Amino acid sequence: MKLHFFCISSVFLLVLSLTLAVPQTRTVYASGVEITVTTLEDTSNTDGKCSLREAIEAANTNNPVDACSPGSSSTFDIITFHQSGVIELTSTLPIIKGQLRIDGSNQSVTIDGKDSARIMEVDQDANLEIINLIFVNGYAPGPNSGGAIRNLGKLTVTNSTFRNNKASSGGAIGNAGNLSITNSAFIENRAFVYGGSIINGGELTIENSTFARNRADYGGGIANVQRGKMNVNSSTLSENGAVLAGGGIFIADGSDSVIVNNTIIARSRSGGDCKGTFNPGSKHNLIEDGTNTCGLANNDNGNIVGQDPKLGVLTDTVPYYFPLNADSPALNAADTTTCLSKDQRGVTRPQGGRCDIGAVEMILTWLPLVSRY
């Protein structure tokens, strides 16, 4: 599955060509070899250290690279980090080829494309898991998708942040494979055509995630094209904008392929909240824009249309999210059957009688009752 772009009269037109092949059984790998990144420098040499670039190469080739341990063809390689900090890239990292997890847990690791390079790419037969990482300033020049990541294989993103990434389409991620996103945030990403944060032409699942202040011509937050399959649950899209259509979400075609539940789409700065049509089974969403609703109607399937969600101010540090104010109509309004067990921050759902709509629950504080005699 490949993304192809053509430039006609200075307007980029997206064409997703999908190559159908005989289904293949994917091998299930056990977690095994750990490769520890020991330097924040973006190097590939023999200085006795293990950089992220070298660690990926060691995992791809199953050979030692500088001070990086070799990966293994029979296990799910794991890259971890010895220290916190910023890795400033000099070029795009090696294409992910195998089964790999890059885990920034217990550290604070930012990968910076410096507005000059896409950060990484996942090959068609690869399987990459990203945990607790921050991607900033990725840039895919020309008519390319995915400023931070282009995914042609299987990509799982958990507890991660994408900020200020840019591309023709899919400012943060261009997906033509299988993409799952959980407990993550997409902030201030930019696409010049489709999908300020994400362009999806494959299969996309989003849970407990926040999209804020992203921009594009179509789909400031997310653009779904070529009948890509998309399932969004318990997420918040707010303050995104589109020059032409779909400030929050833009769906090029295929209403049956897009299911959205328990999600807030609101405060779009331009383009309306949602352009296109959701699967009619989509339920318990809150869309502020009463005109651009992707086919949802107020009080139908528990959907709330035309009401201000009463969101608080976007937090100014990781994890980024919009808190719910005490008078929000999203409180206790989510569907009980599709409610997730925890929110974007890991807070237990529900806090009240029912789950709240959106990426985060309002935390209830119970005060003891004190009697005086």
Q: Provide the CATH number for the domain around residue 247.
A: 2.160.20
What's the pTM value of the predicted model, to 2 decimals? 0.90
| Residues 297-330 pLDDT 10s | 999 999 999 999 999 999 999 999 999 999 999 9
Structure tokens at 87: 């890795």
Domain assignment present for residue 328? The answer is no
Domain assignment present for residue 311? The answer is no
What residues make up the domain containing 144? 2-8+28-305
Rounded Cα–Cα distance for residues 341 and 262 (Å): 13
Domain assignment present for residue 277? The answer is yes
Domain assignment present for residue 149? The answer is yes
Domain assignment present for residue 294? The answer is yes
Domain assignment present for residue 85? The answer is yes
Per-residue pLDDT at 75: 82
Residues 16 and 193 sit within 8 Å (Cβ to Cβ): no
- Concatenated DSSP letters for 3-56? EEEEEETTEEEEEEE-------PPPPPEEEEEEEE--SS---SSSS---HHHHH
Length of the chain in residues, anyone?
373
Domain assignment present for residue 229? The answer is yes
Per-residue pLDDT at 367: 52
Q: Give me the sign of the Cα torsion angle 245, 301, 288, 205.
A: negative
| Residues 130-167 pLDDT 10s | 999 999 999 998 888 999 999 999 999 999 999 999 99
Q: What residues of the chain score a pLDDT lower than 70? A: 1-31, 254-255, 366-373
Give 312's DSSP letter.
-
State how many domains the chain has.
1
* Nearest to 147, CA basis, from 105, 107, 92, 97: 92
Domain assignment present for residue 366? The answer is no
